[in-house]
Amino acid sequence: MKNILCMILLTVGSLRASAQNESTVWVFGSNALNGDFNSDFQSGQMQIDSVSRNMNLYMTNSSMCDENGRILFYTNGIYIANALNDTIQNGAEINPGSFSNGWGNRGLPLPQAVVTINDPGNPNNYYLFHLVVDSNTNTSAKKLRFSKVDMTLASGLGAVTVKNQIVFYDSLIPANLVAVKHANGRDWWIVSHQNHSNLFHTILVSPSGIQGPFDQRIGKIMNWWGTAKFSPDGTKYASYDNTNGLQLIEFDRCSGSFYSDRYYAFQNDTFAATGVSFSPDSKLLYVSRNPVLVQVNTDSISLEDGMDTVAVWDGFFSNQIRTGFGCSELGIDNKIYITPLGGTSVFHVVEMPDIPGSGCIVTQHAILTPGAVYTPPSFSNFSLGPLIGSVCDSIINIVDEINQPLFTLYPNPTTGISKIHSSSRSFQEAEIYIYNTIGQLIYSDIIQSGTFEYFIDFRNYVSGIYSMQIVHDGKVNILSLVKL
């Protein structure tokens, strides 16, 4: 019976891995430069569709599609919009503060300042992890926040049920926020980097909630931001900017730890450069250095030995701006799409990125767009499955854990008193925090060890969506409650 169950679950995992529909639609929009549009991969190749939207997207760009490749929501780091291009319910003012206020009409100027993943414990919920600097004079983010979207609400258009909750405080690089699947194929690792340091912060997202951060010092001291990517197979992490150079580090999806780092400083690296992307087979890395595109064979002993310049800017201008090589993203058609810096209206395309050298075929300004393009959305590999044969590919245990959460809340929605029920007395003393729709703490208490039921009176609270955090044994459980 156990073998049959394993085969069924592995088959389901294989079907899920056959497509990455969560990243089917890429959203772009800058009303100041004539034209909003989507890049849609439903047909198997990029199709450009003009749309009308209110949101401007600058360098912060994150979106999510459903299992059929239909857009659910997207964000520019200022607010979250739904599939109808309106502000999603309770989706205004993420990342509140003076810096966001100053960029409110354009979108945040920070690449990879938001990363969006599915909730491992609920197929209808999604996490957005996000950060921002506090002011124009501060080059560090002071905290990592998260928000959650529940797509069962607002007649299927979704609503933000948790907003601007703080995961941890630190002085962080205000970009380079990335995610990769745990080796069990279900949970997620979220990685951020301390500024002016070589310290990585990693958190784990599972059906039990958020755990961490887990800290590790490795690699070069980083004091600026560019972009970072995990390889499609999740075994390598790369980051590049023109101040700190190129860094490549191996990653263990089981433990969430880094090892075996390599580094290369390009000579005369004065170009504004923010692009790194891996080939679909995870062996080749493409580094954008503005006038040139460099391919790196990651199997080489040293990064320098594995480097090959595969394209040089051909002198083309768009919107009176040079179309050098900037931010990049691997599409679900296994091509790499590169956006020049500065708001041009073109994509460069690496047609066959698995091929070493000039055989990869770089087509410059291959796709013309109706509006300005700044940075593509930064996606994680949603189709990455369990690492079969590893010590943590515990697929059967995964099903059991999802079906038996430690804390449940009912009735929900409620008009008065709700009850938190614990499925086990094994937890240590737990802390409970309740936040209103604008992120203000309105209630806190201690749940003693051994408590099966805990009652909360909501009769004096106004109608709305409330976020509840239960902190226990180094874990954070997130619950949402609707007060009618």
Note down pLDDT in tens along the chain; length 484 residues: 333 333 333 333 333 334 579 999 999 987 555 679 999 999 999 999 999 999 999 999 999 999 999 999 999 999 999 999 999 999 999 999 999 999 998 999 999 999 999 999 999 999 999 999 988 778 899 999 999 999 999 999 999 999 999 999 999 999 999 999 999 999 999 999 999 999 999 999 999 899 989 999 999 999 888 899 999 999 999 999 888 899 999 999 988 999 999 999 988 766 665 799 999 999 999 999 989 999 999 999 899 999 999 999 999 999 999 999 999 999 999 999 999 988 899 999 999 999 999 999 999 999 999 998 999 999 999 999 998 877 676 543 433 333 445 778 888 888 889 888 876 656 678 888 888 766 678 899 998 877 778 889 988 888 877 878 888 776 777 777 778 7
Q: Where are the domains of the chain?
A: 2-373, 405-483
The backbone region for 258, taken as left when phi is positive above 0, alpha when psi lies in -120 to 50, beta otherwise, is beta
CA 28-30-34 angle, to 5 degrees, is 110
At residue 440, the pLDDT reads 74
For 471, half-sphere exposure in the C-beta direction (CA atoms, 13 angstrom radius) is: 12
CA gap 43, 416 in Å, rounded: 49
Give the pair of three-digit tokens for residue 35: 């034209």
CA gap 151, 128 in Å, rounded: 13
Residues 189 and 203: beta-carbon distance below 8 Å: yes
CA gap 419, 407 in Å, rounded: 10
- 141-158 per-position pLDDT tens digit: 999 999 999 999 999 999
β-sheet bridge partners, residue 318? 321
> At residue 88, what is the residue type?
I
Q: What is the CATH number of domain 405-483?
A: 2.60.40.3080
Residues 230 and 381: beta-carbon distance below 8 Å: yes
| 220, 188, 212, 444: CA torsion to nearest 10 | 140
Give the pair of three-digit tokens for residue 49: 């569709």
At residue 118, the pLDDT reads 98
CA gap 318, 152 in Å, rounded: 42
CA gap 392, 161 in Å, rounded: 31
The superfamily (CATH) of domain 2-373 is YVTN repeat-like/Quinoprotein amine dehydrogenase (2.130.10.10)
- 184-193 per-position pLDDT tens digit: 999 999 999 9
Q: Where are the beta strands (DSSP E) in 173-324?
A: 178-181, 188-193, 197-206, 209-222, 227-230, 236-241, 245-252, 257-264, 275-278, 284-288, 292-297, 307-312, 317-318, 321-322
> At residue 123, what is the residue type?
P
DSSP single-letter state for residue 340: P
At residue 399, the pLDDT reads 35
Distant-in-sequence, close-in-space partners of 111: CB < 8 Å, separation ≥ 6: 59, 60, 175, 176, 225, 226, 227, 274, 327, 375, 378
At residue 9, the pLDDT reads 36
> At residue 117, what is the residue type?
I
